[in-house]
Copies of this chain bind each other. A is one copy, B any other.
């Protein structure tokens, strides 16, 4: 059965797996003290244009978000996020388990607008009882968002300006960053992100690695004691080189970029197929996740043949379906999809 349920159904990109194989019996120190990890960090610093950046590798997204947020906030502070932000919905309360409230703001296609954030902050500090409320300490955004949408450079800079004006940190969750960087027409690059954000992470799990996320603090000293905090969060991999090796491979010979480009090409093809088959797009996503509103007959046509993620029910009862492509999607899978949709 065809499956477009998500972008982490397969293992790793073959180039990465090969590196794991080649080095399997090498003996290295644990916890990221090995040469592969050092090399990967150096490559990431270079790609970000931040020679002084601090880079850390963690296993998964939720633990990364939790660690960065704990590492940057004071206990009386909370994190502003879109109502639909991953940390507010699908992380089982990891941020709150760390003691911090998620201050959920209205969003548009998964994005937080700088003006909205500024307006909220103005109202917050105008409120005479604001000192009895969780203090905003950070803005969390995801790029691409949970809806596949992207910020523009200007939008990121506007968020940066709001954060600067109010003394907040800006943190970008890049679980699918590779697909955002490769999207058509985006002007957001790693150096742009590094310039705008106090912290961000470059997702590996969904972009070719078996697992792994690379946290980048562009400015040294942003999160003192972060290594120990990673350990405390249970997020320090014993065989740390597995993370280093994977990111070293991803940032060698432009693999990360090639993976992104391939997925975007597959996404464009998918969009064409879905459009030609008469699907209604729920929103316009330039990245690897596509959202369509299913009519009943479309639902039936896909049943048992094509997997997708049931995303949410609309107030009128119709279902929004997510189709995801990735580094692992093959042209032939999409051709098969088109064939299925034609016959149905």
- Chain A residues with CB under 8 Å of chain B are 3, 5-6, 8-12, 14, 17, 20-21, 23-31, 59-67, 70-71, 74-78, 89-94, 96-102, 123, 128-129, 131-135, 205-206, 210-211, 224-229, 231-239, 242, 310, 313, 328
A196 to B52, CA, bound (A): 36
Q: Which 8 pairs across A and B sit closest by C-beta, in order of nearness?
A: A63-B234, A11-B24, A92-B232, A92-B231, A93-B134, A9-B27, A76-B228, A76-B225
Which of B20, B236, B328 is in CB contact (< 8 Å) with A25? B328
Contact (Cβ within 8 A) A231 B62? yes
* Residue among A28, A67, A211, A239 with most chain B CB within 10 A: A239
In contact, B90 and A101 (Cβ under 8 angstroms): no
A55 to chain B, nearest CB (A): 16
16 contacts between A and B (CB under 8 A): A6-B30, A10-B26, A11-B20, A17-B24, A62-B236, A76-B92, A76-B229, A78-B93, A90-B129, A91-B232, A93-B101, A132-B228, A210-B239, A211-B239, A211-B242, A234-B235
A135, B205: Cβ atoms under 8 Å? no
Measured CB to CB, the nearest residue on chain B to A22 is B11
Query: B134 and A96: CB pair below 8 A?
Result: yes
Q: Which residue of B lies closest to A126 (CB)?
A: B313
User: A270 to B136, alpha carbons, bound, how many Å?
Assistant: 38
Whether the pair B234, A66 counts as a contact (CB closer than 8 A) is: yes
- A89 touching B133, Cβ below 8 Å: yes
